[in-house]
Homo-oligomer: A and B are copies of this chain.
Amino acid sequence: MKTLVAFLLSFAGAVSAQTLPSWNEGDAKARIVAFVQAVTDKKSRDFVAPAERIAVFDNDGTLWAEQPIYFQFAFALDRVKALAPKHPEWKEKEPFASLIRGDVKGALKGGEKSLLPILAATHAGITTDEYEKVVKDWLASAAHPKFKQPYTALAYRPMIELLDYLRANGFKTFIVSGGGVEFIRAFAEQVYGIPPEQVIGSAGKQKLEMRNGKPVIVKLPAVDFVDDKEGKPLGIQKYIGRRPIAAFGNSDGDLQMLQYTMAGDGRRFALLVRHDDAEREFAYDRQSHIGRLDKAWDEAKAKGWTVVSMKSDWKKIFSFEGTKQ
């Protein structure tokens, strides 16, 4: 029996040395581990019951890359081209005409407004089952322009380890994203180990319809909920109904979610990912239009939240790359 206990203890020690292997030893990793140990140690005054161990993660720029454009937009643009043969009228109609000619900048020159007809044309009018299949097919075939890898390979290795580490410590991990909830659900389980019911995102209106005598759900071209900025705490209350104890983001769109998380009682954790590695990923922050990190960064500094430098805190950013020593 003594041998068995010794064996189990040696195993526990081995696991601990292997915690977050793609993270460099340093302040960010040390803070994560200290937080997890404090809330899971029954003898700690910071102990949190497993049911309350809710951790929320932004997706774009926090769990996977978001440059040069949000991957869901890349999907929408590709989808317009795929659907174009069935829509001859698009040749005369902006923003579709520019898109079909390959002129993305021209198509989007009207700003975010020009995205709305594109999103409506590519994200509505089909059932949720059909949409899931279309997204999965695209993810299996499309490649990122810089990395020449499938988009799902652009998930950050250290963040996948962090999700696993939190779950191994009794946390329930949720995505709380401004992106479309059904777009993310199409890959979140396979890529992040997060099941569809733990994905919160922006959503369109839907209706129940009978097709061939069977009920299906059809996506409508109208916005139901925008899960960004103030929408993130509102989405958390709507879907989870409990204030998280840990929140992870990378941009000003995550600020309210981090504030809401940190305003609860007891020990809390907030983390921002900084994109500062132009060589291995992209370097942006305050300069960026997509994923702009400005006010949230200032608040993180003022309040002592954890800020991760991708350049110095992460040994490896993507699973496909070699490990930086």
Interface residues in chain A, defined as those with a beta carbon under 8 Å from any beta carbon in chain B: 51, 54, 128, 172, 174, 181-182, 185, 189, 195-199, 203, 206-208, 214-215, 217, 230, 233-234, 237-242, 256, 259-260, 263
Contacts and interface: CB of A to CB of B under 8 A. Distances in A.
B181 A206 contact: no
A207 B172 CA distance: 25
B241 A215 contact: no
B181 A256 contact: no
Contacts of A189: 51
Nearest to A205: B234
A240 B197 contact: yes
A161 to B, nearest CB: 21
B240 A196 contact: yes
Contact of A214 (B196, B199, B263): B263
A238 B197 contact: no
Q: Which 10 A-B pairs have the closest CB atoms?
A: A196-B241, A214-B263, A197-B240, A208-B230, A215-B260, A185-B241, A217-B237, A196-B242, A208-B233, A215-B259
A307 B197 CA distance: 28
A51 B215 contact: no
Counting chain B CB atoms within 10 Å of each CB, the highest count among A195, A197, A259 belongs to A197
**Copies of this chain in the oligomer:** 2
Given A51-B195, A195-B242, A207-B230, 5 more contacts: A54-B197, A199-B241, A207-B234, A208-B230, A215-B233
18 contacts: A51-B195, A54-B197, A128-B237, A195-B242, A196-B240, A197-B198, A197-B240, A197-B241, A203-B238, A206-B234, A207-B230, A208-B230, A208-B256, A214-B263, A215-B256, A215-B259, A215-B263, A217-B234
Contacts of A51: 189, 195
Contacts of A237: 128, 206, 217
A191 B246 CA distance: 27
A252 to B, nearest CB: 15
A101 B26 CA distance: 67
Nearest to A224: B238
A217 B260 CA distance: 9
From A195, A215, A233, name the one whose CB has the most chain B CB atoms within 10 angstroms. Answer: A215
B215 A234 contact: no
Contacts of A174: 197
Contacts of A54: 197
A51 B198 CA distance: 12
A238 B208 contact: no
